[in-house]
Amino acid sequence: AKDENRRTELMEKYARHGGAQKLALLQRALALREKNARLLGYKTHAHYALEVKMAKTPERVLNFIRGLAARIRRAVTKEVAELTMRKRQDTGNRKARLEYHDVSFYGELMRQEKFKLDSEKVREYFPLEFVLRQMLDVYAKLLSVKFRRLFGFKFWSPDVTFYEVSNTDGSLIGYFGLDMYPRNGKYGHMAAFNAVSGSMTDWSEKTRMAPACFLVGNFPKPGNGCPSLLSHGEVDTLFHEFGHIMHFALGRPRFASQNSFAVAGDFVEMPSQMLENWTWDRKILKKISRHYKTRKPLPDSMITNMLAARNFLEAYSMARQMVLASYDMMLHLKPPKTAAENSGLMRKLNRHLLGIEMPKGSMFGAGFGHLMGDYDAGYYGYAWSKVYAADLFTRFEKEGIMSSRTGKDYRSLLAKAATQDEMKMIMEFLGRKPNDRAFLRQLTQK
């Protein structure tokens, strides 16, 4: 919206979505969580929730958030300054201040100007059927497995396709299904779901139940002579979510309760986030792209622009994650006594970490859905897992992105599922203690 008044109006309405009633329900939920934690002998709900996570304690989470925020502060300040200058250039007002409703608008404007990227043109190079075939080939070579499509199975929709995963010698590993197109009443995002957990079926440990899982998505359906075309962001998501499928299928737990989706909540995204790097490799981009008309791969110039744009405003984006993680953690360490105090906490964090004021009348907590689900006192896990994922990728950077030897070691990590301490698994794969250097390098790389 080029009209700033309209942007302001829309953002102020959005910042109040959920409303006072939902904010009151959040206050009630926070009080009940605190009461529950104390009944169980914990100091706070945060202490209770984190006991089974990698981080273990709220103090460690807060140190992580503060440390990361401090290390990216300079980059964030620079990006906010660039956005502010673009607004002043656009408005002709040398004293114009960057507002909350300006960030996305000027961010997209600058992305187009700096990198000459037309996302719809990029989309033409990623027909879903071709991307799927090439992605399976990448995973097969990387993890030393084979995929075979199976027929004759009936599922909830004729769009569902079903596959067998086996070792290179043909021995069975498991199964997965793909449900890629939207329909009425379907789950609206993209996610991997467990159907049958792999486990040993007897105490002799000679017989194993083969796992089965499904990847559910909502990509554009083919029609009018045009195939399903993916944006690069959707290709990135596909690689990520299929990483969950492989984590689940390749897990070798003794008990079903130790399946790969049962790992600590701040670890579960890590293996998949690491695999997003493959969609940013020049050779892989050539391999998985083919224009739906000319059948040619992405041109070098377009790939160069895509790579250059990868980290645009990424420091700001991560700082915003620090705002959300701090807000979530503080709510569960010391629940605010009133709804006004709740909203004030978010305004204070936004001002401190981003240098930008929240919209007028904001009731952010009323519409922050992650506070009701698996992320209560755990939203930090998004950034936490990204940091470790970047460190895991350093081995592939050094040894080759398609190194079968490194892939074998990575498969060994996936095979452990939820049978070991997650930090121990990371250290075994890296051969050292993990750190955030790779993440910070990736974040600030321009």
56: left (phi over 0), alpha (psi -120 to 50) or beta: left
Tokens of 221: 């359906």
Q: What distance in Å separates the CA atoms of residue 432 and residue 442, rounded to the nearest whole number?
A: 20
User: Of the residues 99, 124, 241, 422, which is catalytic?
Assistant: 241
**Pair 372, 71: CB distance under 8 Å:** no
DSSP codes of every residue in 134-187: HHHHHHHHHHTEEEEEE-S---SSTT-EEEEEEETTS-EEEEEEEE-S--TT--
Distance of CA 39 to the CA centre of its chain: 34
Please name which of 126, 136, 159 lies closest in space to residue 227, comparing C-alpha atoms.
126
CA neighbor of 207 nearest in space, from 259, 254, 257, 146: 254
How many DSSP H helices and E strands does the chain contain? 18, 7
Residue closest to 266 by CA, chosen among 73, 442, 46: 46
Angstrom distance (rounded) from CA 167 to CA 175: 12
Please confirm, yes or no, whether 108 is among the known catalytic residues.
no
Q: Which residues are catalytic?
A: 241
